Amino acid sequence: MPIKVMLVDDQQLMRDGIKMLLELEDDIELIAEASNGREAVSLYEQHAPDLVLMDIEMPLMNGIEATRKIKAINAAARVLILTTFGQEDYLRDALLAGAQGFLLKAVSSDELTESIRKVNKGESVLDGHSTQVLLDSYRALSEVKRPKGKLLLTVREEQILKLIDKQKNNRDIAINLQLAEGTVKNYISQILEKLQVHDRNRAVRVAKERGLL
Amino acid sequence: MPIKVMLVDDQQLMRDGIKMLLELEDDIELIAEASNGREAVSLYEQHAPDLVLMDIEMPLMNGIEATRKIKAINAAARVLILTTFGQEDYLRDALLAGAQGFLLKAVSSDELTESIRKVNKGESVLDGHSTQVLLDSYRALSEVKRPKGKLLLTVREEQILKLIDKQKNNRDIAINLQLAEGTVKNYISQILEKLQVHDRNRAVRVAKERGLL
DNA sequence: GATGGGCAAAGTCATATGACCTTCGGCACT
DNA sequence: AGTGCCGAAGGTCATATGACTTTGCCCATC
């Protein structure tokens, strides 16, 4: 059975072009069209398409907001953004709204149909330019988050983690190291943050796995 | 003129297979082969290929480290990782090391050659699975980074930023607010971090632009 | 005029603290 | 048994500090 697609774009001409192009593929069926975000959300509920091809810049409600709303209705919804402009903030917002794919309208028709198939299978797709933008953004984010790459614990943090490993509570750790209890709590917060976990026991486990303890 | 490619993989069989596959493409020319990271770095300097196809798990020096070294030699070098395993940490490390692309060996030969062309043109590529992993990781990172979305300065930080705006130096700010000079320096570090800049004057400018001051 | 030593200002990093928030179990009162 | 209050423990956040590193400039010396 073919992939049921809904197309959302405010330009009639663009919709007609894409429609013709999708009609050539016998495993893709266009079952609905919307010309703005608001209409898209309402038609999504009526037709339950497998995948939504979504423009961003549209009247009444833009594609990002519509994606968010559709995802709120059905978290498993597949949304593939197809837009003229690939600014970083569009891309970021679209991905955070839950879109599985992000293509510039500059892509070839082959790339579009191939992307529809991939997204339908549960994969994610980005065109070359958007991948580039995402990677740059990802690198910038990662560097802020992990200043050393090594992810080392400081001397104090390691001391404290070792005491946690011995099942000591905060008060005992504080007495042991001659610190205020608040200080110990703070160190533990930092350790959790560095190890990307949310409780002390998991922290010990992760640290051991990475040979930090 | 064809794209000059260097192939790095420790398995002879894999190298032979890829070699045969690339020979079918007349715009791609294999000019060098290495079987570990160390050899890769040295051959890179000798042959200056347009693009390096790099495995990760190899003896002596792995592909991530080799990518880092090659990028240190030539920041414009293009590296396309081609690996069996797509764990998140491999992907993350590879991208932070500067790789332009990351493909699992599960990709089709068409996808490989197409990816080589894209990376050579300066685009970035990821296979479907890796894109998925990256997006998840990106979303997680973004959420951590912007807990409020507002990116607010604390009371103290704002006080200090206002004094910086008046061209005060650290000593004067310290006296003014009854703090140690080191404390002032530390607050400024935090402000720079929050505003993503590296000097106090730019911090004032950015804060004004965002209406934080 | 070049050079390098030295110093002050700026900036980074690990450390330390307490106010406050969240969770959860027990216990008193109904 | 149900309810709700309380306190202990864990955890987050803004605050504060000084040791150390980096940067840029001035001046003495060649």
Which residue(s) pair with B29 in the sheet? B4
Q: Are residues A109 and A194 in the same domain?
A: no
Mutate one of B71, B80, B134 to test the A interface: name it (highest A CB count within 10 A): B134
- Length of chain A as a residue count: 213
Under the banding of pLDDT at 50, 70 and 90, the label for residue B141 is: low
Instruction: Give the 3-state secondary structure of residue B2.
Output: coil
Q: Are residues B18 and B107 in the same domain?
A: yes
The answer to whether residue A173 sits within a structural domain is yes
Q: Are residues B139 and B159 in the same domain?
A: no
Q: What does the pLDDT look like over A18-30, one tens digit per residue?
A: 999 999 999 999 9
Q: Are residues B31 and B112 in the same domain?
A: yes
| Angle value at C-alpha A147, between A146 and A152, nearest 5 degrees | 75
Average of per-residue pLDDT across B136-149? 59
Q: What spatial distance separates the first Cα and last Cα of chain A, rounded to whole Å?
A: 54
Q: Are residues A123 and A60 in the same domain?
A: yes
The position carrying tokens 């209406």 is B211
Q: Which stretches within B121-180 are classed as H helix?
A: 128-145, 155-165, 170-177
For the ranges A50-64, A133-147, B60-74, B87-101, which has the lowest average pLDDT?
A133-147
| Spatial distance between the Cα atoms of A146 and A72, rounded to a whole number of angstroms | 32
Structure tokens belonging to residue A91: 């891309």
Smallest CA-to-CA distance from A157 within A114, A119, A127, A195 is with A195
Mean pLDDT score across all residues of chain B: 88
| Spatial distance between the Cα atoms of B47 and B34, rounded to a whole number of angstroms | 12
For the ranges A172-176, B29-33, B49-53, B142-146, which has the lowest average pLDDT?
B142-146
| Spatial distance between the Cα atoms of B195 and B68, rounded to a whole number of angstroms | 28
Average of per-residue pLDDT across B154-182? 91
**A125 CA to chain B: closest CA distance, Å?**
6
Contact B55, B9 (CB under 8 A): yes
User: Which 8-state DSSP code applies to residue B21?
Assistant: H
The answer to whether residue A150 sits within a structural domain is no
The answer to whether residue A166 sits within a structural domain is yes
Q: Is A131 close to B121, i.e. CB distance below 8 A?
A: no
pLDDT of residue A149: 40
The position carrying tokens 């903030």 is A89
Contact A127, A103 (CB under 8 A): yes
Last residue of some domain: B120, B143, B166? B143
Quickly give B189 CA vs D16 C1' distance in Å. 14
| Spatial distance between the Cα atoms of B52 and B39, rounded to a whole number of angstroms | 12
Q: Are residues A50 and A122 in the same domain?
A: yes
Last residue of some domain: B92, B116, B143? B143
The answer to whether residue B148 sits within a structural domain is no
The position carrying tokens 């807990």 is B147
Rounded alpha-carbon distances, angstroms, from residue B45 to A125, B70, B77: 34, 8, 11
Under the banding of pLDDT at 50, 70 and 90, the label for residue B150 is: very low
The position carrying tokens 């740059």 is A136
Distance of CA B100 to the CA centre of its chain: 8
| Angle value at C-alpha A31, between A28 and A35, nearest 5 degrees | 115
Q: Are residues A96 and A42 in the same domain?
A: yes
Mean pLDDT score across all residues of chain A: 88
Domain holding B203, by residue range, is 155-209
The position carrying tokens 């950015």 is B206
Q: Which protein residue has its CA closest to C1' of C15?
A: A156
> Does B96 lie at the interface with A, CB-CB under 8 angstroms?
yes
The answer to whether residue A148 sits within a structural domain is no
Q: Are residues A135 and A159 in the same domain?
A: no
Q: Is B128 close to A131, i.e. CB distance below 8 A?
A: no
Instruction: Give the 3-state secondary structure of residue B3.
Output: strand
The position carrying tokens 């983690």 is A161
Q: Are residues A102 and A177 in the same domain?
A: no
Under the banding of pLDDT at 50, 70 and 90, the label for residue A143 is: low
Q: Are residues A120 and A166 in the same domain?
A: no
Pick A138's closest partner by Cβ from B123, B129, B138: B138
| Protein-contacted positions of strand D (CB under 7 Å) | 9-20
| Residue percentage of chain A with pLDDT more than 90 | 57
User: Which 8-state DSSP code applies to residue A197?
Assistant: -
The answer, yes or no, to whether residue A150 has pLDDT greater than 60, is: no
| Spatial distance between the Cα atoms of B68 and B78, rounded to a whole number of angstroms | 11
> Does B106 lie at the interface with A, CB-CB under 8 angstroms?
no
Quickly give A170 CA vs D6 C1' distance in Å. 21
The answer, yes or no, to whether residue B119 has pLDDT greater than 70, is: yes
The pTM is what?
0.66
Q: Would you report the helix, strand and coil content of chain A in percent, each value rounded to 5?
A: 55, 15, 30
Last residue of some domain: A108, A143, A178? A143
Element (H, E) at A173: helix A170-177
| Spatial distance between the Cα atoms of A98 and A80, rounded to a whole number of angstroms | 10
Structure tokens belonging to residue B5: 């490619």
> What is the tally of structural domains in chain A?
2
| Protein-contacted positions of strand C (CB under 7 Å) | 9-20
Under the banding of pLDDT at 50, 70 and 90, the label for residue A211 is: confident
Please, what's the b/e burial string for B79-99 (b: 16 or more CB within 10 A of its CB; e: otherwise)?
Answer: bbbbbeebeeebbbbbbbbbb
The answer to whether residue A120 sits within a structural domain is yes
Is the sign of the CA dihedral A108, A109, A112, A114 positive or negative?
negative
Q: What does the pLDDT look like over A34-78, one tens digit per residue?
A: 999 999 999 999 999 999 999 999 998 999 999 999 998 998 999
The answer to whether residue A104 sits within a structural domain is yes
pLDDT of residue B140: 67
CATH number reported for the structural domain that contains residue B169 in this entry: 1.10.10.10
Average of per-residue pLDDT across B23-29? 93
The answer to whether residue A105 sits within a structural domain is yes
Q: Are residues B195 and B116 in the same domain?
A: no
CATH number reported for the structural domain that contains residue B123 in this entry: 3.40.50.2300
Contact A40, A34 (CB under 8 A): yes
- Report the half-sphere exposure of A111 (CA within 13 A, side-chain side): 17
Q: Are residues A108 and A181 in the same domain?
A: no
pLDDT of residue A141: 67
Hits for CB < 7 Å against strand C across A residues 137-196:
147, 152, 154-157, 179-180, 182-183, 185-187, 190
